[in-house]
Structure 1
Amino acid sequence: MGNSDLRSLAAIEDVAFEDLGGSVVAVDAHNWLYRYLTTTVRFTRDGAYTTADGTEVANLVGVVQGLPKFFEHDLTPVFVFDGSVTDLKEEEVEQRRAEREKREEKLEAAREEGDETAVARLDSQTQRLTDTILTTTREVLELLDVPVIDAPAEGEAQAAYMARQDDVDYVGTEDYDALLLGAPLTLRQLTSSGDPELMDFQATLERHDVTWEQLVDAAILMGTDFNEGISGIGPKTAITLVREHGDLWGALEARGEHVDHGDRIRNLFLDPAVTDDYEFDRDVNPDLDAAREYVTGEWEVAEDEVETAFGRIEDSVAQTGLDRWT
């Protein structure tokens, strides 16, 4: 998920949705989906997204409720899914798994005690992107004609690469690592109410008078998904160190510190595994009848949880079509 301390370094400003119309957004699919999944589980009755055989597909509620924001503002979302996980991230994945298992134990205890508030909170925190969730998400996106791209590794890295190639206008993610991956312009808070935030890569470099490499080096000193930070080094100190000493290794030498696999971590941000093998159509033509049947018929999601959102998609697509002919 990245180091949230990066926010204090990033050049961020509010932006109005009406100023983004006609743009293409490469969405970090796992990040976006997980946020809607956890929110749905926490605030929606479980019977609304559970099939007769007990399969939970809260993701379908989240996807359908989350997409209208794009269509209503004439934005084309391109969902970029993660591929393989780098071995340097395995430790973080294991840590998250252990934390989830602890929460699952607390969840069972809360259920036994009948604490419905705690159950809802803990249930949302123990969600994971299962094969069923990922498969059904892809299938409903396909029915809604939303482009899907498979990354060889990190979806966020692929999205950032597509933005640097000018194939998309923005990256959409809540993860501040988009900055380290060189995403020129990142839209945050796409899963929140209200307008998004715009995180500007070039403006960030200019604000701190650093290069892309030095920004990554500062992040490594602070700590990333791939390494623990150096004790006592926060954002301001990290930037000062890389400016004074040139790069990560100069800063580490000055402090008498060491970061395991520093060069590999650096390359994961500066030269990540990406692909040029992708294409997509900016114009979408969703099959709403098929999508409704898939969500509410085949997967038994309660109609009252998704019908308003389907109606919003239908209205916005129709309006976009009219606008293009006027």
Structure 2
Amino acid sequence: MGNADLRQLAAIEEVPFAAVEGSVVAVDVHNWLYKYLTTTVQWTRDDVYTTTDGVEVANLVGVVQGLPKFFEHDLTPVFVWDGGVTELKDEEIEERRDQREEYEEQLADAREAGDHLEAARLDARTQRLTETIHETTRELFDLLDVPQVEAPAEGEAQASYMARVDDAVDYAGSDDYDCLLLGSPLTLRQLTSKGDPERMDFQATLDEHDITWEQLVDVGILCGTDFNPGIDGFGPKTALKAIHEHGDLWGVLEAEDEYVEYGDRIRELFLNPDVTDDYAIHTDLSPDVAAAREFVTEQWEVDADEVERGFSRIEEAVTQTGLDQWT
């Protein structure tokens, strides 16, 4: 998920949606979907999104509630799915698994104690993107004619790459600060929050601190990334000062008598990630809202009242944004 401390260095500004209307956004779908999934689980009765067979599809509620934000502001989302997990991330994944198991134990205790508020909070924290969630989300996107891209590895890396090299893509969309290290020229953040989004500017960040892309990545590695724990005592400002003094990661490590395992490989994961040009996207969307509604409420038995407002907002966006090609 990246190191949130990098916000201290990032050039970020809040922008009105009017300033980004008509844009195409390559969205890190795992980052986007997980936020809506956990919010739905925490604040919605589980019978709303649980089928008669006991399958939970809270993701469908989240998608229907989240997509209108794009459509109402004339933004075209291109959802980018994670591919294979980078092996250097194994330790982080194991730590997350251990944390989830701890939450699950606490969840059982909260339920036994009858603490419904705490149980809802912990239930949200134990969510994971299951195969059913993947499959049903993809099918709903297809019905709504939302473009999807399969990344060979990290979704945020592919989204950042698309924003950097594809003239048809204006922004990466993610709350993950790794998009900055991955060189996304412009990243839209807070797309799952109320209010206007934030725009994170890669080149402005480099210019503000008089550093290169490589040096920015080195700062990130010193602070800690998804692939390494960082060096004790190094926050963003300390790391930036050290990079200015010693030039690069290797100079700092030598001066501090420190070591980062696989430091060169981690650097390459940000500067030259595993990405692909083998994709096609379209912006002339023709969503079948009726079929999408039937899929969610009849096939997967989601409470119709819970998603009707979201579907209505999607339909209303057709008129409000003048997208005559929508059906």
Partner residue, 1:169: 170
- 2: CA distance, partners of 1:232 / 1:320: 50
- 1: CA distance, partners of 2:217 / 2:289: 43
Is the CA contact (8 Å cut-off) linking 1:76 and 1:283 kept in structure 2?
no
- Secondary structure of 1:161's counterpart equals helix
1:128-173 deviations in whole A, cap 9, x for unaligned? 0000001100000000000010000000000000011133101110
- 2: CA distance, partners of 1:174 / 1:83: 19
Is the CA contact (8 Å cut-off) linking 2:82 and 2:151 kept in structure 1?
yes
Q: Give the Å deviation of 1:320.
A: 2.6
1:261-291 deviations in whole A, cap 9, x for unaligned? 0000000000000000011111211100100
Partner residue, 1:151: 151
Letter of the 1:169 partner, please give it.
D
Partner residue, 1:90: 90
1:73-100 deviations in whole A, cap 9, x for unaligned? 0000000000000100010001000000
Q: Give the Å deviation of 1:237.
A: 1.1
Q: How does 1:1-326 map to 2 (within 5 A)?
A: 1-165=1-165, 166-321=167-322
Is the CA contact (8 Å cut-off) linking 2:228 and 2:260 kept in structure 1?
yes
Q: Between Structure 1 and Structure 2, how many residues are aligned?
A: 324
Q: Give the Å deviation of 1:321.
A: 3.1
Is the CA contact (8 Å cut-off) linking 1:4 and 1:176 kept in structure 2?
yes
Q: Give the Å deviation of 1:319.
A: 3.0
- Consecutive unaligned residues of structure 1, counting only runs of 5 or more, are none
When residues 266 and 143 of structure 1 are mapped into structure 2, their CA distance, relative to the original with a 3 A threshold, is same
- 1: CA distance, partners of 2:138 / 2:257: 48
1:224-265 deviations in whole A, cap 9, x for unaligned? 000011101111110111111111000110111000000000
Letter of the 1:194 partner, please give it.
G
- TM-score, reference length from structure 1: 0.98
- Root-mean-square deviation over aligned CA pairs: 1.0
Letter of the 1:243 partner, please give it.
H
1:198-225 deviations in whole A, cap 9, x for unaligned? 1000000001100000000011001100
- 1: CA distance, partners of 2:285 / 2:313: 15
- 2: CA distance, partners of 1:137 / 1:317: 22
**Which moved further from structure 2: 59-68 or 167-176?**
167-176
- 2: CA distance, partners of 1:220 / 1:226: 8
Is the CA contact (8 Å cut-off) linking 2:17 and 2:73 kept in structure 1?
yes
Letter of the 2:189 partner, please give it.
R
- Secondary structure of 1:224's counterpart equals coil
Is the CA contact (8 Å cut-off) linking 2:318 and 2:324 kept in structure 1?
no
Q: Give the Å deviation of 1:18.
A: 1.2
- Secondary structure of 1:79's counterpart equals strand
- 2: CA distance, partners of 1:60 / 1:172: 20
Q: Give the Å deviation of 1:26.
A: 0.4
Letter of the 1:257 partner, please give it.
E
- 1: CA distance, partners of 2:298 / 2:319: 24
Is the CA contact (8 Å cut-off) linking 1:147 and 1:281 kept in structure 2?
yes
- 2: CA distance, partners of 1:39 / 1:274: 30
Is the CA contact (8 Å cut-off) linking 1:84 and 1:153 kept in structure 2?
yes
Is the CA contact (8 Å cut-off) linking 1:33 and 1:62 kept in structure 2?
yes
- Secondary structure of 1:275's counterpart equals coil
- 1: CA distance, partners of 2:205 / 2:320: 37
Letter of the 1:130 partner, please give it.
T
- 2: CA distance, partners of 1:147 / 1:319: 21
- Consecutive unaligned residues of structure 2, counting only runs of 5 or more, are none
- Secondary structure of 2:179's counterpart equals helix
Q: Give the Å deviation of 1:322.
A: 5.8
- 2: CA distance, partners of 1:33 / 1:319: 25
- Secondary structure of 2:273's counterpart equals coil
